[in-house]
Chains A and B, each alone.
Chain A
Amino acid sequence: MATSDPTVKTAPAVDETGPDSSRILQTRGLRKAFGGLTATDDVDFALEAGELRCLIGPNGAGKSTFLDLLTGRLEPTAGKIYYDGADITGLPSHERVDRGISMKFQVPSVYEGLTVAGNLRIPLQRVVEPDAFDARTREILERFDLLAERETVAGELSHGQQQRLEIGMAMAMEPNLLLLDEPVAGLSVEETADIADLLREIADDDGVAVIVIEHDIDFVETIADRVTVLDGGSIFREGSIEEIRTDPEVKRIYLGEDR
């Protein structure tokens, strides 16, 4: 359903007295300023368990900054982050990961000097016993279509294989919330379709809540339960992909008038 009223935000109303326990993730008044530049401005965001949400917006909208605030790579200037009902605002990255938040960075950041199996061992040894490494490694490699590359040094993988490996490594942590920054950047049409299938499977079958930053609106249409549009560091719109695609204001700032 289309709406042209810019005052209509479909962001869930939040309870000022505490987190809503039905949401796996909530932010309240989240703000990050770099000197005079406010990259994230008063963001109230909520995500259901098992939901696949896409974040879109023009360059500089604050999408990656928002994800960095969620992972703890950046400290907010103001505001709160609640995960699974608990305030995690001041926690360092590694403690957030221990609670079930996992992330794939924008640029593939696999360990290039280690083999594919060696890469997987880094997250796996945090969550499974050593005698289960091999079985779990095989399981993940099969799922992410990397079994034949098990002993290949990760730096020699193609871009698409590195993207899949990194998502596999993030999933190896058995997260409840997966954050992906442009997971299909630079991939072919076929590879993009494969990743879309994988992400839907992760949300639908594994019940993992997923936030995806993405510019490819066709990809977003394929995977998203809901879409959040960021602009100037703030939430500009939230809604279904149909609502977002047909919103004239979104078309003006992001999609282009001809879409």
Chain B
Amino acid sequence: MGNSSAFWLGLAVAVAVLAALPVLFGLYAAEVGSVFLAYALLGMSLAFIWGYCGILSFGQVAFFGVAGYAFGIVAINAATLTGLTLAVLAALGVSTAFAAALGYFMFYGGVRDVYVTILTLVVALVLYTFMGQTAGGEWAIGDARLGGFNGMSGVPDLAIGVGSTGVEIGPLGHYYVTLGALVATYLGLRALVNSRFGYAMVATREDEDRTAMFGYDTTFVKLVVFTIGGAIAGLGGVLFTTQNNYVDPSVFGITAAALPVVWASVGGRTSLLGTVGAALAIQFVDYRLALSGSEWALVLIGSLLVFVVLVMPEGVAPRLHEYVLEYREDADPSPVPRDSSAATEEVSD
């Protein structure tokens, strides 16, 4: 991953620009921006498991949505500072445990490659179908009605605290919490990818059988990576739901399920920041088109995906990274030793 002073300066500028958006464009921009940043977390969760460990999950939205519903159920039933804090923990716990259970049965059951993709998509679509039929009054947990396709409304805002000590987080605060979560997640994943475990991930992606012959428990590596990805997607789901105060089955739908794959494909699945950038840019364009009443958003996104896959299959960010390296080599032909991280060898972050 990038480690030059130019890289860190660029990252700092990008974060500063994002931090300045609510100041420049007002509260509504913060509310919309929160949703985009939550999507970026979802995209980053897929780039992490797909780009670095070769697990193409078409169902990251399952963990995103399950966390959203779990938060709503707990929060509606315990709308106190303590209750809302517990709701966050419960939602993260449920999405993490769900990913761990699904990953366990998949990977230890010998499911590999494209079958993982199919299975995860099926899980998301099953959840979509199941939650869609929960409109009846009997589908309630305490005061929280699941609501079928009408969704679960009245989900409280995010709040952190115990007893009467704590803070309720309004729209502006929510934006900065989400931005902070995104940056912290990126830095955490960056450290993980550059660690010994990161090498095991990349080796597992490249050749699982070969890697097992170096003593790595590749099934366990995949399970850990998939579980972490589920936890990050769940974090995005909590932040998405608390921003909208609402969640419905469309979070599990085929369109929602495809979006993280589009973001990672366009931005570059081996680039966490590329995926974040693609998620923010694509969702912004989608939002602007929706505001103008255009129905072309999905066509545009689909066309963009086809274009990128054909022209730069590795994604935009890795291609830009290649251009930068070529430019540097042209400027200074002396060979530059690569550093020792697995990620350095192939990504542009």
Report yes or no: B203 in contact with A111, Cβ–Cβ below 8 A: yes
Indicate which residue in B196, B206, B216, B335 contacts A94 across the interface (CB closer than 8 Å). B216
Q: Which chain B residue shows the least CB distance to A121?
A: B199
CA distance A126 to B211 in the complex (A): 11
Minimal beta-carbon separation of B7 from chain A (angstroms): 20
CB within 8 A of B199: which of A71, A102, A125, A169? A125
Contact B214 A126 (CB under 8 A): yes
Q: Which residues of A contact B337 (CB under 8 A)?
A: 151
Q: Which of A105, A118, A130, A173 contacts B215 (CB under 8 A)?
A: A173
Asked if B209 CB lies within 8 Å of chain A CBs, one says: yes
Interface residue? A52 (CB, 8 A):
no
In the complex the two chains form, is B216's CB within 8 Å of A114's CB? Answer: no
For B335, list chain A residues within 8 Å (CB): 151
Taking the complex as formed, is B113 at the interface, i.e. its CB lies under 8 A from any CB of chain A?
Answer: no
Residue B345, interface by CB 8 Å: yes
The digit string for A82-125, where 1 denotes a CB below 8 A from any CB of B, is 00000000001110011000110100010111110110011101
Closest Cβ of chain A: how far from B209's Cβ, in Å?
7
Q: Using Cβ atoms and an 8 Å threshold, which residues of chain B touch A133?
A: 340
Interface residues on B, range: 20 to 34
A113 and B199 within 8 A (CB) = no
Residue of B with least CB distance to A166: B210
Supply 13 further A-B pairs (C-beta < 8 A) apart from A92-B217, A97-B213, A114-B202. A94-B215, A102-B213, A105-B210, A109-B207, A111-B206, A112-B206, A122-B211, A122-B214, A123-B215, A133-B340, A153-B345, A169-B214, A170-B213
Residues of B within 8 A of A169 (CB): 214
Question: Are A109 and B346 in contact (CB-based, < 8 A)?
Answer: no
A93 in contact with B213 given A113-B345, A114-B342, A118-B342 (CB within 8 Å): yes
Q: Which residues of B contact A113 (CB under 8 A)?
A: 206, 345-346
Contacts of A105 in B (CB 8 A): 209-210, 213
* A173: B residues at CB distance < 8 A: 214-215
A73 at the interface (CB under 8 A from B): yes
In the assembled complex, the Cα of A2 lies from the Cα of B184 at a distance in Å of 72
Q: Give the most central of A92, A114, A115: most B CB within 10 Å.
A: A114
Name A residues whose Cβ lies closer than 8 Å to a Cβ of B: 71, 73, 92-94, 97-98, 102-103, 105, 109, 111-115, 117-118, 121-123, 125-126, 130, 133, 151, 153, 169-170, 173
Closest residue of chain B to A153 (Cβ to Cβ) is: B345
6 contacting pairs across A/B (C-beta < 8 A):
A92-B212, A94-B217, A103-B213, A113-B346, A114-B206, A122-B199
Q: How far is the CB of B13 from chain A (nearest CB, A)?
A: 30
B78 shortest CB reach to chain A, Å: 44
Q: A98 CA to B217 CA in the complex, in Å? A: 11
* Shortest distance between the CB of A92 and any CB in chain B (Å): 7
Could you tell me the distance in whole angstroms from the C-beta of A127 to the nearest C-beta in chain B?
A: 8
Distance in Å from the Cβ of A153 to the closest Cβ of chain B? 8
Residues of A with C-beta under 8 A to B345? 113-115, 118, 153
Q: Give the one of A71, A113, A130, A133 with max B CB within 10 A.
A: A113
CB contact under 8 A between A94 and B199, given known A114-B206, A115-B345, A117-B340 = no
In the complex, residue of chain B having the shortest beta-carbon distance to the beta carbon of A112 = B206
**Nearest chain A CB to B116's CB is how many angstroms away?**
20
Q: A111-B206, A115-B345 are in contact. Are A125 and B340 (CB under 8 A)?
A: no
Q: Chain A residue with minimal CB distance to B336? A: A151
Residues of B near A94 (CB, < 8 A) are 212, 215-218
